């Protein structure tokens, strides 16, 4: 009896202690949050935020890029939103977006580093770095990509050869329904792999396919609830199981792969004959050996290489998967592209970027795929480097800046049929017409580092596909434009028929 009472008391006490602890924690966080909330005068307006969570709960996680429309109506083209600890502003409309991305005193060139990113990349590499370190890494990467593009085997030829391999692989499907996802990923990835690692991988290489699956998985998981919560409560989420743990494990595996390739390069490295990005980087590291202030060190090597590998794979292949879908769903447009290919290139030549100027229709279709695909809807976030003003509002140092590319790409004032696939958007009297409100690669000093490469890849792969195949939905099936939200917006997995043309 007494014993039972004793244990009851102990349980009560434990429960009470837990409650006090929780209460204390909340009060503490509340106070911290309150001070965190102080804003400068003239800060952009925005919806009121909840303590701790900010506006986190007001965002719709299935379609984060579509859910804040009412705020724009209410607060205008520059409004504030808090996501966890990040004070952010969302910018809408071409003039303001341009102003922000190409800010004359370069005040908005940094990257905010979320807690998940901090754990994987810290501030290293090309995508997450800022300041002088970013400048050095970016300049070197651009120069090296250019050098290997102009080397013995030009990048253009590599893309042509790879597109040819991929066409042969797709031919094996004999017009039957197949899922093109990882074949396209593999082919696209091989281009950046040949530049960074000096090798390409066969489409049935199980180990490489595993890496491609990991990249696909992290793309999806980073926008998921697990990672979002980790970004707000890293010190708690660190200890909890969930998809964010899978995310970290995946990145570790990707990093390990890159580190191993680097180790192998070191073994047979010849500074006089750099074979690829890694060799060139090792040479740069040797140049600065022993100088502490240099940004050319092992960690930046790993992260920059990983950035090129990842950014060079996911984006272009996602765009190509959208392209096939749009072709199968718009047979009359597909026919016109094929007619142009037959007229300008024919059936025996390999497509090359030199053909592009003579193929306005095909070029317009590719642009329209990028406009509708809109794979990076809020651009890659930027961060204010030092206090500055935009449109009369004060943006303090550290504010995260999101530019709404969706609003640009679907602006009813700019596009005749904003929500329908229509290559005429990029045509005028049969000639290709550039459009200002088209910024899938962003603009400014931090514009996509791979834009030229990506544009060459998109053109050569796409024309190679349509030169040899007609894409159709599987018999008695309807294809859909359903998408998956991740770091990129990608079509949900689909099967398609590639019917040989001759």
**Residue entry with tokens 């490489």:** 208
Site for ligand HEM contains 448 (CB under 6 A): yes
Of 149 and 381, which has the nearer Cβ to ligand NAG? 381
Cα-based distances in Å from 108 to 340, 401, 449: 42, 8, 17
Reading phi first (left if > 0) and then psi (alpha if -120 to 50, else beta), residue 392 is in left
Residue 69 binding ligand NAG, by CB under 6 A = yes
**Main-chain dihedrals φ then ψ at residue 401, nearest 5 degrees:** -115, 120
**CB contact burial 339-367 (16+ within 10 A = b; e otherwise):** ebbeebbeeeebbbbebbeebbbbbbbbb
52 contacts which partner out of ligand HEM, ligand NAG, none, CB within 5 to 8 A by kind?
A: none
In the region spanning residues 190 to 209, those forming contacts with ligand HEM, defined by CB under 6 A, are: 192
CA atoms within 13 A on the CB side of 486: 18
| Residues in region 384-423 near ligand NAG by CB under 6 A | 404, 406-407, 410
434 close to 133: Cβ distance less than 8 angstroms = no
Nearest approach in angstroms of CB 38 to ligand HEM is: 28
Closest among 490, 187, 210 to 312, alpha carbons compared? 187
> CA-to-CA distance for 169 and 218, rounded, in angstroms?
26
The torsion angles phi and psi of 461, rounded to 5 degrees, stand at -65, -50
Nearer to ligand NAG, 48 or 430 (CB): 48
Q: In terms of CB distance, is 162 or 307 closer to ligand HEM? A: 307
Of 56 and 465, the one with the shorter C-beta distance to ligand HEM is 465
Neighbours of 66 (CB within 10 A): 11
66 scored as a contact of ligand NAG (CB under 6 A): yes
Q: Which does 441 bind (CB under 5 to 8 A by kind): ligand HEM, ligand NAG, none?
A: ligand HEM
The enclosing H or E element of 120 equals helix 115-121
- CB of 457 vs ligand HEM, minimal distance in Å: 6
Continuous H helices in 349-468: 360-373, 405-409, 451-468
* Helix H or strand E segment including 331: helix 331-344
Under the criterion CB under 6 A, does residue 315 sit at the interface with ligand HEM?
yes
Minimum Å gap between C-beta 408 and ligand NAG is 8
The CA radius of gyration of the chain, in Å to the nearest whole number, is 25
What residue 437 binds from ligand NAG, ligand HEM, none (CB within 5 to 8 A, per partner kind)? Answer: none
Nearest residue (CB) to ligand HEM, 456 versus 496: 456
Identity of the residue, 189 or 470, whose beta carbon is nearer to ligand HEM in the bound complex: 189
* CA-based torsion, 146, 453, 457, 429: positive or negative: negative
Query: Binding of ligand HEM at residue 107 (CB under 6 A)?
Result: no
* Structure tokens, 444: 């400014």
Binding to ligand NAG in span 112-151, by CB under 6 A: none
When CB distances are held under 5 to 8 angstroms depending on the partner's kind, the choice from ligand NAG, ligand HEM, none that residue 66 binds is ligand NAG
Nearest to 194 by CA among 278, 263, 273, 136: 278
**Smaller CB distance to ligand HEM: residue 127 or 498?**
127
The interface region with ligand HEM, picked from 11-19, 91-99, 348-356, 371-379 by CB under 6 A, is 371-379
Q: Is 312 in the site for ligand HEM (CB under 6 A)?
A: yes
Taking the complex as a whole, how short is the minimal distance between the CB of residue 407 and ligand NAG, in angstroms?
3
Cα gap 251→441, rounded to integer Å? 24
Which positions from 138 through 177 interact with ligand HEM, judged by CB under 6 A? 138
- In angstroms, give the least distance from the CB of 398 to ligand HEM: 17
- Binding residues for ligand HEM, per CB under 6 A? 101, 126-127, 138, 192, 307-308, 311-312, 315-316, 319, 375-376, 379-380, 382, 440-442, 444, 446-450, 453-454
- Binding residues for ligand NAG, per CB under 6 A? 65-69, 72, 90, 92, 378, 404, 406-407, 410
């Amino acid at each position: 009896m007494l014993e039972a009472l004793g244990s009851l008391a102990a349980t009560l006490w434990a429960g009470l202690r837990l409650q006090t602890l929780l209460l204390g924690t909340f009060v503490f966080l509340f106070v911290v949050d309150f001070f965190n909330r102080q804003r400068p005068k003239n800060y952009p307006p925005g919806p009121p935020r909840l303590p701790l969570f900010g506006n986190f709960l007001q965002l719709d996680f299935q379609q984060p890029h579509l859910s804040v429309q009412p705020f724009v109506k209410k607060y205008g083209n520059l409004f504030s939103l808090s996501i966890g600890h990040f004070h952010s502003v969302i910018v809408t409309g071409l003039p303001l977006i341009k102003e922000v991305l190409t800010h004359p005193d370069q005040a908005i060139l940094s990257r905010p580093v979320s807690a998940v990113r901090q754990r994987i990349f810290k501030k290293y590499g090309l995508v997450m770095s800022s300041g002088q370190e970013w400048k050095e890494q970016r300049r070197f990467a651009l120069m090296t990509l250019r050098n290997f593009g102009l080397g013995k085997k030009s990048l253009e030829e590599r893309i042509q050869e790879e597109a040819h391999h991929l066409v042969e692989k797709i031919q094996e499907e004999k017009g039957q329904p197949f899922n093109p996802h990882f074949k396209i990923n593999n082919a696209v990835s091989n281009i950046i792999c040949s530049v960074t690692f000096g090798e390409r991988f066969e489409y049935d290489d199980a180990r490489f396919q595993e890496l491609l699956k990991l990249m696909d998985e992290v793309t999806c998981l980073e926008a998921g609830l697990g990672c979002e919560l980790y970004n707000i409560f890293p010190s708690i989420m660190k200890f909890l199981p969930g998809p964010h743990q899978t995310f970290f494990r995946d990145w570790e595996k990707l990093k390990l792969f890159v580190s191993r390739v680097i180790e192998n390069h070191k073994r047979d490295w010849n500074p006089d004959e750099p074979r690829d990005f890694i060799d060139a980087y090792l040479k740069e590291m040797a140049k600065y050996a022993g100088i502490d202030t240099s940004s050319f060190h092992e960690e930046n090597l790993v992260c920059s290489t990983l950035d090129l590998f990842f950014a060079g794979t996911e984006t272009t292949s996602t765009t190509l998967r959208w392209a096939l879908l749009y072709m199968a769903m718009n047979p009359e447009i597909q026919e016109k592209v094929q007619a142009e290919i037959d007229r300008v290139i024919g059936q025996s030549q390999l497509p090359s970027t030199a053909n592009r100027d003579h193929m306005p229709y095909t070029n317009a279709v590719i642009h329209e795929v990028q406009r509708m695909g809109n794979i990076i809807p809020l651009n890659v976030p930027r961060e204010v480097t030092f206090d500055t003003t935009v449109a009369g509002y004060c943006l303090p140092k550290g504010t995260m800046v999101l530019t709404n590319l969706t609003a640009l790409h679907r602006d009813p004032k700019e596009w005749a049929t904003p929500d329908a696939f229509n290559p005429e958007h990029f045509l005028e009297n049969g000639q290709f017409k550039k459009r200002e409100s088209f910024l899938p690669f962003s603009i400014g000093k931090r514009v996509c580092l791979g834009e030229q490469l990506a544009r060459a890849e998109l053109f050569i792969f796409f024309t190679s596909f349509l030169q040899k195949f007609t894409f159709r939905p599987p018999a008695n099936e309807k294809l859909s434009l359903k998408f998956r939200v991740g770091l990129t917006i990608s079509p949900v997995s689909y099967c398609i028929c590639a019917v040989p043309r001759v």
